[in-house]
Structure 1
């Protein structure tokens, strides 16, 4: 039984542990820009929200959307958005799924649910990044009809493709 639910404050320690566990297993650390636990917590509790995927009662994955307090990190600057467009932009910030649950479409399902929430909150532009060699994430963006707008260095010199979807 798979379930997607909103992350609560009580979930945060388990979410953070899972993020570190998955990060430690990544074959290429360039694929993921690891933010501090405080930043990730802030993204979920004050800057946006998190969704968790539960499979048979176990935390299988997390997706974090960041909509407020983007500041200079707003990908709209890279896309030459004007101020109003940047205010209407949200980031598809973090997607992680435990290896034993990959291939089941959990990232896509969590992103689709996040898109619906962000649309209801009045956002018009969904922006995200993925390392060009991270085929699973790139394909998820493309399957969900995001446009791959450009590739450039972000996050202190990491190569990233920037994706955008107007909703």
Structure 2
């Protein structure tokens, strides 16, 4: 099966929401996936963040998405990763990844992460930014997501409770442009 990757636009919001709901319903353990709502998706699409979509190449069916948030002063994970307060504006949240159950097993989470990181690298170059802290949170028992992130250079920095008491590892990947 082949997939194409693209950045989401407003018209994709309902499709993203449908996949997010399906992921929340079909995840192995409910506490593994902290789903947002439709307003959250719209907020990302209208803000500085972005959403990478994976579509099945022939049908163009949405197979999955990866949300990247630029939190600014709303960052809540930097403290767990020892990001200096002066670098808050350099924090990015690799926020939510979901793959429709019928498309799982195609390494889409990893491929969407790679697409998201390529977009972030381009943005760093455009802003002449030399350092970026890419943060994410993963449930400690979600070995699939944890493996995807650690294999891509993310390091576990802390274990804490987020999202109303859900157990999470906070991971960080420090990216430096020379």
Tell me the residue number matched to 1:80. 82
**TM-score where L is the length of structure 1:** 0.92
Q: Distance in 2 between matches of 1:86 and 1:112?
A: 23
Displacement of 1:102: 1.5
- Find out whether 1:59 has 2:62 as its counterpart: yes
Q: 1:125 aligns with which of 125, 130, 133?
A: 133
Indicate conservation of the 8 Å contact 1:132/1:160, yes or no.
yes
Structure 1 unaligned spans of 5+: none
Bigger CA drift: 24-33 or 140-149? Answer: 24-33
Tell me the residue number matched to 2:32. 31
- Find out whether 1:91 has 2:93 as its counterpart: yes
Displacement of 1:65: 0.3
Displacement of 1:69: 4.3
Bigger CA drift: 38-47 or 91-100? Answer: 38-47
Q: Distance in 1 between matches of 2:77 and 2:36?
A: 16
Root mean square deviation, CA, Å: 1.5
Structure 2 unaligned spans of 5+: 125-130
Tell me the residue number matched to 1:3. 4
* Aligned-partner SS, 2:81: coil
Displacement of 1:3: 0.5
Question: 1:165/1:153 Cα in 2 relative to 1: closer, same or farther (>3 Å)?
Answer: same
Q: 2:157 aligns with which of 149, 157, 161?
A: 149
Decide which structure has the larger Cα Rg and report it: 2
Indicate conservation of the 8 Å contact 2:17/2:38, yes or no.
yes
Indicate conservation of the 8 Å contact 1:63/1:93, yes or no.
yes
Indicate conservation of the 8 Å contact 1:76/1:85, yes or no.
no
Tell me the residue number matched to 2:173. 165
Question: 1:155/1:66 Cα in 2 relative to 1: closer, same or farther (>3 Å)?
Answer: same
Q: Distance in 1 between matches of 2:32 and 2:109?
A: 16
Tell me the residue number matched to 1:109. 111
Indicate conservation of the 8 Å contact 1:47/1:67, yes or no.
yes
